[in-house]
Amino acid sequence: MSTVPDSDPLLTRLRDDRPLVTVELRPPKTGLSQTESMDTWIDMYHSVRRLAREDTVIFLTDNAVGESEEENLRHLVTNLAGDVSSDRLVPFLTSKHSLEYCRMYADRASAHGFAALTVLGGDRSVGPPRCVEHAYELRKLIRKRHPRLSLGGWANPHRDAAQQVDFLLDESFTGEFYLTQIVSHHDVRAVEAFVNEAERRGVSLPGVFGVFLYRSSNPRTFEKLGQFFSVPAEGITRDFESGMSAEEICAKTIRTLREIGVGKIYLSNLGFKNPEKRYKRVVEAVD
C-alpha cells in the first residue's frame, strides 16, 4: 500500500491547476570515450542546474529509443547531490535490466532522497528482455520495498482510450502519476478521446503528456522515430514548409493540448547542448 505523503512536492505540483512544462533529458550513450562522456555530463550538469531554477521537473531517461545509455542515477547522485533538489529530479527505470539491478536501483534512489521514480516496461523490440512481463509488476515490487516513493507509470493515447483508462484505474497499476507516449497537434483527436474518457471515468492520477521537439523534417529521422512512437511525418513536414521553426511547432502542440484540457507536458529531444535554451524558446513561443 502506498504511504506517499500528501505533501510530496512533485505530486503537489502535478495536481496543481497551473500549467507545467517539464523536461525529459537523455544521459549520454554508453560506449563514448571517457572525454566525450565527461564533457556530456558536464554540459548536462550545468543544464539541469539552470532548468531547475524554472518552474519545471526534470525526467532522466533509461535507455531511450533502444540505445544503451549511461546510468542516470549514478550521474544524479555523483554530480548533482546538494545542488538541485531531488524533488525536481525524476529518474526513469525500465524493466530492461535484471530484477536484482532494479531492486538495488530503487534502494539507492530511496537512500539518496529521491522522492519519485517513473517505472516503465521498456520497448520489447530492442535491447535485453524485460525482467518482468509488465511494468506494474516492477512497480508493485518497488512499492513493497519503498512505500513512500511516488511511482509513475505509462499511458498511450494512440491506443484504445477505454483500454488505456482501464489500465490507469486498475488497482494493480501501482502509481501516483503517469506519463504518456509522444503526442502532437496533428493527432489531437486521439488525445482528446483519451482525455475525455479519463475524465468521464474519474481518473484522479495526474498525467504528463509527451511533446517531441522535431528539429527537422528528415524522412530518415521520421522513419527511425516511427519505430518507437507515432510520428505525424506529413503534418510536421508541412509545418516546416510553412516557415515554422522547431520551437514554434512544439509550442503549437502545447497550445493545442491546453485547449483540450491538458496542462502538464514533458518536452522531449531538447538535446545535450544547452537544452535549457531550447526549453526557454519553446515556453516563450507558447506564451
Residue 73 phi, psi dihedral angles, 5° rounding = -65, -40
Euclidean distance between CA atoms 109 and 11, whole angstroms:
17
pLDDT of residue 123: 81
Euclidean distance between CA atoms 212 and 246, whole angstroms:
10
Q: Which domains does the chain have, with CATH numbers?
A: 18-286 (3.20.20.220)
Euclidean distance between CA atoms 56 and 164, whole angstroms:
26
pLDDT of residue 81: 62
Can you tell me whether residue 9 is helix, strand or coil?
helix
Each residue's pLDDT, cut to its tens digit, for the chain (287 residues) gives: 566 767 788 999 999 999 999 999 987 767 667 777 777 777 878 888 899 888 999 999 887 665 677 788 887 887 766 678 888 899 999 999 999 999 999 999 999 889 999 999 988 777 788 999 999 999 999 999 999 999 999 999 999 999 999 999 999 999 999 999 999 999 999 999 999 999 999 999 999 999 999 999 999 999 999 989 999 999 999 999 999 999 999 999 999 999 999 999 999 999 888 899 999 999 999 98
pLDDT of residue 267: 98
C-alpha cell at 29: 550513450
Closest CA to 264 of 19, 12, 15: 19
| Residue 122 falls in which region: left (phi positive, over 0), alpha (psi -120 to 50) or beta | left
Euclidean distance between CA atoms 194 and 173, whole angstroms:
17
Q: Which class for 26: exposed (0-12), middle (13-18), buried (19 or more C-beta within 10 A)?
A: buried
pLDDT of residue 245: 97
Euclidean distance between CA atoms 282 and 84, whole angstroms:
23
pLDDT of residue 42: 78
pLDDT of residue 97: 92
pLDDT of residue 1: 56
pLDDT of residue 145: 96
Residue 113 phi, psi dihedral angles, 5° rounding = 90, 10
* Exposure on the CB side of residue 110, measured as CA atoms within 13 A: 17
